[in-house]
Amino acid sequence: MGALAALPGAAHADAVHPVVALGTADPFYFTMQRGAERAAKETRVQLLFQVPKAWNTTEQVPILKALIAKHPDVLLVSPVDKQQLIAPLKEAADAGIKVITVDTYIGDGHYQTGKGDADFPLSYIASDNLEGGRVAARALAKAIGDKGTICCENNKSGISSTDARVQGFMDEMKKHPNIKVLETQYNEDDANRAAAHVAAVLARNPDLSGVFGANTFSGSGAALGVKTAGKQGKIKFVVFDAVPGGDDKISSGLVSIAIAQRPYDMGYYTVKFAADAIRGKKVPVYQSTGFVVLDKSNVDMPGMKVYIYSN
Ligand code: T6T
């Protein structure tokens, strides 16, 4: 789901009011919201949260346009598409509104370069998704003994984050010639569709060894498909994102590895950078927030639960 924030103008320095619109029923963005709220308190700004209904331009662009009409100082957004969000966000920039993207980017994600039509945002805050995909591939290859057939469930094409994860995953898998990688399937953030995909893949490939779920809904749905087929623990499963209950899924053996992003830190840096930008401070054009690999060996250790997202 796309996240949006705006710091309305015409507010005195200590009371800028960002409006943040987050995806519904997505613990990733709800956790991001908590980090944003902490930064808002520290930088003396207030946060309001709107909620797009789904991860698509039909939902995100009208909310964006409504926020732009309020002429905020800064617009904080998770663009739902690398290309389709360039024009709407350029409208904001041309109107003198600073733009910061979080979790996802527009164009190639390289900002303030003076090149191309999508370098105008001030900053991009996110996980290193390409490396995250490579980590997932190495983990899955190890879990299946570096041989067998695997499949990949993803949200939809055109999203910088999940596109990069799958690219990193596939690049790394090329180093594992004894692993057959089936065609990636797209579920458009519909966990039930992901579950149905896995069931169909299993019907065609009963010897399926592993599954990669490239985001929250892909992972939850694929896990449901594996469990419904009675293959829990038999099929190794690596997911991006650590949804509520993800620790139990790891302890039970349903999920082998969860790559937990740091959405709380993403939210924190996004609002901190927005407040700094309004006050004339320079902000980093890129801030990586890292990720934590959770598995049976560490998920129940003290201090690790903090990496599980909250609703
Ligand atoms: O994986 C996260 C986020 O990083 C990605 O951009 C979209 O999917 C999630 O929001 C999880 O639903």
**Residuewise pLDDT in 10s, the chain (311 residues):** 345 555 544 333 444 554 445 444 689 988 998 999 899 899 988 766 676 778 888 988 988 888 888 888 888 999 999 999 999 999 999 999 999 999 999 999 999 999 999 999 999 999 999 999 999 999 999 999 999 999 999 999 999 999 999 999 999 999 999 999 999 999 999 999 999 999 999 999 999 999 999 999 999 999 999 999 999 999 999 999 999 999 999 999 999 999 999 999 999 999 999 999 988 999 999 999 999 999 999 999 999 999 999 98
Contacts of residue 175, defined as CB under 8 A and 6 or more positions apart, other chains included, come to none
What number does the ligand 1 atom closest to the CA of 215 have? 1
User: Which of 80, 81, 155 for mutating ligand 1's site (highest number of atoms within 8 Å of CB)?
Assistant: 155
What is the phi/psi pair of residue 229, to 5°? Answer: -80, 0
> What CATH number has the domain spanning 3-127+262-280?
3.40.50.2300
Q: How is the chain split into domains, by residue range?
A: 3-127+262-280, 129-261+295-307
Q: Cβ distance 76 to 6 under 8 Å? A: yes
Whether the domain at 3-127+262-280 and the domain at 129-261+295-307 fall into the same CATH topology? yes
CB-based pocket (< 6 A), ligand 1: 26, 28, 103-104, 155, 159, 161-162, 215-217, 240-241, 261
> What CATH number has the domain spanning 129-261+295-307?
3.40.50.2300
Q: Is the pTM of this model over 0.85?
A: yes
Rounded to the nearest whole angstrom, what is the distance from the C-alpha of residue 78 to the centroid of ligand 1? 10
What is the phi/psi pair of residue 74, to 5°? Answer: -135, 140
- d(CA 27, CA 125) in angstroms, rounded, equals 18
